[in-house]
Amino acid sequence: MAALRPKPGRTDPRASKTVKFVTARRPKTILTAPIFDRFTATWVQINGVPFRTTGFFATLSRNGQIVAIAAFDPFGVVRFNNIPTLTRVAYTLRTFNPNGVLFRTRFVPAGVETFAIIG
């Protein structure tokens, strides 16, 4: 048979001696500037794992004119050094393998700093 425990009282005998500390809450910081200073694109599989893109390259074009060409690193990331962020105009992004075969064509809207090519 279990022993019965006494119920605690409803009053706190140390209530007058208790000190409560209140921490000041910091206001949330809102980013007003982009994190990346140049337009960056990543090429990932459906599960989020980046493709091995050694030797691959990408082009950014607008109205049929190529604006920038950049090479992918081995981890699926390409950085266009001459395109500042946030982009002001829409672009067409095309990815090519080392032999120049077109793999993907994607539309990049205005107002972005990074873009993910999925699949």
Q: Worst-scoring range by mean pLDDT, 15-24, 69-78, 108-117?
A: 15-24
pLDDT confidence of residue 9: 64
Helices in the chain by DSSP H: which ranges? none
Paired with 71 in beta bridges are: 57
Task: Look over the chain and give the mean of its residue pLDDT values, rounded to a whole number.
Answer: 87
pLDDT of residue 61: 97
pLDDT tens sequence across 32-42: 778 889 999 99
Say how far apart CA 114 and CA 35 lie, in whole Å.
Answer: 10
Residue 93 confidence (pLDDT): 97
Sorted by where each starts, the structural domains of the chain and their CATH numbers stand as 38-113 (2.60.40.10)
